[in-house]
Structure 1
Amino acid sequence: MPKAFFIDTSRCTACRGCQVACKEWHQHQAVPTLQRGTHQNPPDFTPYNYKIVRFSEHKIDGKIKWLFFPDQCRHCLVPPCKDAADAYVPGAVVQDEATGAVLYTDKTKQLTIDQAREVRDVCPYAIPVRNEATGMLSKCDWCIDRQRAGMKPACVKTCCTGSMNIGERADMLVLARQTLEKVKKTHPEATLLDEDYLAVIYLITEPRKLYHEFAERREQMHPMIRQAFLAMLARPASRLRG
């Protein structure tokens, strides 16, 4: 059965253990960065950073409050990036049948710069990043190697607050909704983000607009290329139902 990932941001302390664990497991190199007046580091995704804890600072009820958002690929149930990539290079993006993970393969190197940009532009959360040195598109792979070996993703294993959870999709939806009911008692505006479309489900405690700009699904995306649109229409109806 497909898996789902539930991230309860009400528990996140921005320790960035998940960010570091992801980088270490994938053996990614260090990325030079600059101090930009924020605790968030690096400022955005790179080919060597699949996960970033985003920081937002706001004045709420007269007090300064930090909001933390562990950002990553959402592993869409029907991924538009796959449809876009398939229009040019079939097999560049695949979806694991056992887990539902959306995976980028070495075939993404065959995409031109413009084609790779189109793949990124159709992503509702602007996640994919092109490695300029290799030409490969990259993003969170949901630690598919660990999952196939019966282990939890590195970020879930590392999280010490219980913010991150993984399991069967039905179970994670139940957990997410039960947790939301509890959190709403102290945070009335708490909500789940796009749980009907995604395998990675976030619970946030404040209005979406206070988080990173891509915390909410972008409805006005770059116009989908014709080939990708036709490829999406050809998908089995069962896929569209999730």
Structure 2
Amino acid sequence: MSKAFLIDTTRCTACRGCQLACKEWYELPANKTKQVGTHQNPPDLNANNYKLVRFNEHLDGETITWNFFPDQCRHCIEPPCQGAADTVEEGAVIKDEATGAVIFTDKMAQFSTEDLDYVRESCPYDIPRWDAKTKRPAKCVMCIDRVREGMLPACVLACPTGTMNFGERSEMLALAKERLAKVKKDHPNAMLADQEDVSVIYLLAEAPERYHTKAVAQAPARNTRKQLFASVRSSLTSVSKS
């Protein structure tokens, strides 16, 4: 059985411990940022931030509500990025059988800009970001080096509130359903985002759009077969040549 995260957003205080722990473990450099009217920092995912706690503020009547969303690669069960990359070169994106981690390999350094854009656009969660140093997209790798040694991912270990959870997929699904039942008592619209399609399962107390525009997949995550991408790509190429 592969591994999975459960991210219970109802417990997130936006301390950003997970975001910083990820940067520290991978020794990622700081980003030069500027104030753009939000506490969210940096403004978006980038090659130096595999994880980002997104801030969304809502005014409901006279009540201000904050919805925090620790964004990262979802490590899809059937990765669309793998299907897209395979149309360029087999093995450029791999999925580790033991953990379910989706990994971008060094083969992607040979991809053209068009190919890299194609892979990124295939992601229904808009996760991959170009890394000029490695010449390939950058994203969360499930701390596969730590997990293989029996350790928790850095973000999970750093979380002080129980927002971040990690373990066997079956255990995380059971925990997710248990917590969802409790949350629904106060938030009847609570849900588990794309639980059948991903290995990073979010528990949301409210509608997904109140957290992030890509909180749930923007395209069917299961339509990821290599032949589907090959067919679509062939059609686009034919149109561009006509």
Q: Same fold (TM over 0.5)?
A: yes
Q: Secondary structure at the match of 2:10?
A: coil
- Deviation larger for 78-87 or 125-134: 125-134
Return the offset for 1:75: 0.3
The verdict on how the C-alpha distance between 1:132 and 1:227 changes in structure 2, with shifts beyond 3 A counting, is farther
Alignment of 1:1-242 (within 5 A): 1-219=1-219, 229-230=229-230
Which ranges in structure 2 are unaligned for 5 or more consecutive residues? 232-242
Letter of the 2:37 partner, please give it.
Answer: G
Letter of the 1:182 partner, please give it.
Answer: K
- Aligned 8 A contact 1:11 1:161 in 2: yes
**Cα deviations across residues 99-125 of structure 1 (Å, max 9, x unaligned)?**
110011111111111100000001010
Return the offset for 1:61: 4.7
Return the offset for 1:187: 1.3
**Cα deviations across residues 41-85 of structure 1 (Å, max 9, x unaligned)?**
001111110000000000125301111000000000000100111
- Tell me how far apart the structure 2 counterparts of residues 26 and 195 of structure 1 sit (CA, whole Å): 28
Letter of the 1:15 partner, please give it.
Answer: C
- Tell me how far apart the structure 1 counterparts of residues 225 and 76 of structure 2 sit (CA, whole Å): 18
- Tell me how far apart the structure 1 counterparts of residues 161 and 61 of structure 2 sit (CA, whole Å): 26
When the two structures are superposed, what TM-score results if normalisation uses the length of structure 2?
0.90
- Tell me how far apart the structure 2 counterparts of residues 156 and 216 of structure 1 sit (CA, whole Å): 21
Letter of the 2:144 partner, please give it.
Answer: I
Return the offset for 1:176: 0.2
**Cα deviations across residues 136-156 of structure 1 (Å, max 9, x unaligned)?**
111000100000111000000
- Tell me how far apart the structure 1 counterparts of residues 11 and 147 of structure 2 sit (CA, whole Å): 24
- Aligned 8 A contact 1:2 1:168 in 2: yes
Q: Secondary structure at the match of 1:172?
A: helix
The verdict on how the C-alpha distance between 1:135 and 1:228 changes in structure 2, with shifts beyond 3 A counting, is farther
Q: Secondary structure at the match of 1:121?
A: helix
- Aligned 8 A contact 2:6 2:164 in 1: yes
Q: Secondary structure at the match of 1:57?
A: strand
Which ranges in structure 1 are unaligned for 5 or more consecutive residues? 232-242
The match for 2:235 is: none
Percent identical among aligned pairs is 54
- Tell me how far apart the structure 2 counterparts of residues 198 and 227 of structure 1 sit (CA, whole Å): 21
**Cα deviations across residues 125-172 of structure 1 (Å, max 9, x unaligned)?**
010011134421110001000001110000000000001111111111
- Tell me how far apart the structure 2 counterparts of residues 127 and 20 of structure 1 sit (CA, whole Å): 18
- Tell me how far apart the structure 1 counterparts of residues 170 and 61 of structure 2 sit (CA, whole Å): 36
Q: Secondary structure at the match of 2:11?
A: coil
Return the offset for 1:220: 7.7
- Tell me how far apart the structure 1 counterparts of residues 226 and 104 of structure 2 sit (CA, whole Å): 21
- Tell me how far apart the structure 1 counterparts of residues 224 and 100 of structure 2 sit (CA, whole Å): 23
The match for 2:237 is: none
- Tell me how far apart the structure 2 counterparts of residues 138 and 100 of structure 1 sit (CA, whole Å): 17
- Tell me how far apart the structure 2 counterparts of residues 159 and 226 of structure 1 sit (CA, whole Å): 37
- Deviation larger for 58-67 or 158-167: 58-67
- Tell me how far apart the structure 2 counterparts of residues 170 and 89 of structure 1 sit (CA, whole Å): 32
- Tell me how far apart the structure 1 counterparts of residues 27 and 84 of structure 2 sit (CA, whole Å): 29
